[in-house]
Amino acid sequence: MGKNFSITTVSLLLLLTSTNAGQVFDIKSYGAQTNGDITQALTQAWKAACAVAGSKVVISTGTYKLGLVTLLGPCKGAIEFNLQGTLQAPSDIESFKGKDGWVVFERIDSLTVSGGGVFDGHGQMAWQKNNCAKKYNCDILPINIRFNFITNSIVQDITSKDSKFFHINLLECKNLQFQHVTITAPRDSPNTDGIHIGRSSQINITNANIGTGDDCISIGDGTQDITIKQVTCGPGHGISIGSLGRYENEQPVSGIRVIGATLSNTENGVRIKTWPASPSGTASDIHFENVIMDNVGNPVLIDQNYCPNNQCSNESPSNVKINNVSFKNITGTSTTLEAVKLVCSKSVPCQQVVVADIDLAYKGSGSATSTCVNVRPAVSGKQNPSACTKKI
């Protein structure tokens, strides 16, 4: 995996070099003005740039209003979206006409998104209309940035702010790098997942700083070969595999590595969550290592009875099979008494779970505990709390 990552990194650096040397399409050449609506200008600049091999679309410093746009490929060659300024989304949901994305990059090979700029989703009005806590099949609100069918690409040095729903969503992407990405929204902003990855492979996230109202990073079905390194998370709900098992025909999840994360004041730490009464599925080869927890609830969690706000029937167990999972060198402080909670399915108990070098202190009175249900983990190294204090 390390060899593949290095080859990928070199190829992407070559990609950056090629796009930087290409033809520049500045949106101001298409009539864009600071504080004005640049939807038409950006659409025209992108179309022209996409028709040229090795091109760059530039949005210079300043603040601009932008309606929903789909920046569509395939393009003639490598293309860069260079955002130096701040893009502001419409505040009202109605202007999106039921669409689930604000800025959509679709069917592009060799894309670079960079420039140090900000995608400001103006989500405050939308959060008030979010009904997902009460309704199982809720209305999906616009996502700040969607990457659909993107390959061999890099996203670096950008900020996503106050998205109406998820900040960044990946669908059917392959070989995509995220570096130095910042994501920010208030703790109470609903369903504002930082980066959600679905049905994608060979995704690397490095040095991201994510604070939001839901999962900092969430992994959906059909996702394979993901490496997450040196990510800071908080506020938020932690780093999550899942939820899985909610829908029919979900694809397997495998090859997920979270290395060197720091979570601060989050509701959860690192977790795997599956719905009860689910169709069959698998989640395997998942590893969390060298993670620091600072004032975190449920720092280490497998939850195969995930049913938020009682939106489902939990009478039948989950049928998502979890195996080959490790939690290694997890240290810090827990705000919940159960610092390690491994609740697996009685239908398909977890297999090959490793718990090594855990040192989590409970912030309240008393000592932290560890619960194991339908799992017998292999234990090594320091265990604070003692592994499987409670066994069910």
Residue numbers annotated as active site: 214, 237
* Alpha-carbon distances of 318 from 253, 265, 354, rounded to whole Å: 15, 29, 21
Which letter, b or e, does each residue of 312-324 get, where b requires 16 or more Cβ atoms within 10 Å of its Cβ? Answer: beeeebbbbbbbb
- Report yes or no: 299 and 340 within 8 Å, Cβ to Cβ: yes
H-assigned helices in the chain: 2-20, 39-50, 124-127
Provide CB contacts within 8 A for 328, sequence distance 6+: 287, 288, 289, 290, 354, 356, 357
Residues 115, 159: Cα–Cα separation, whole Å = 10
Nearest C-alpha neighbor of 196 from the set 167, 172, 225, 173: 167
Amino acid at 273: K
Phi-psi group of 230: left, alpha or beta (phi > 0 → left; psi -120 to 50 → alpha; rest → beta): left
Backbone angles phi, psi at 320, to 5 degrees: -90, 120
* Maximum separation of any 2 CA atoms in the chain, in Å: 67
CA angle 324, 381, 356 (to 5 degrees): 25
Q: Which two tokens stand for residue 120?
A: 């400001």
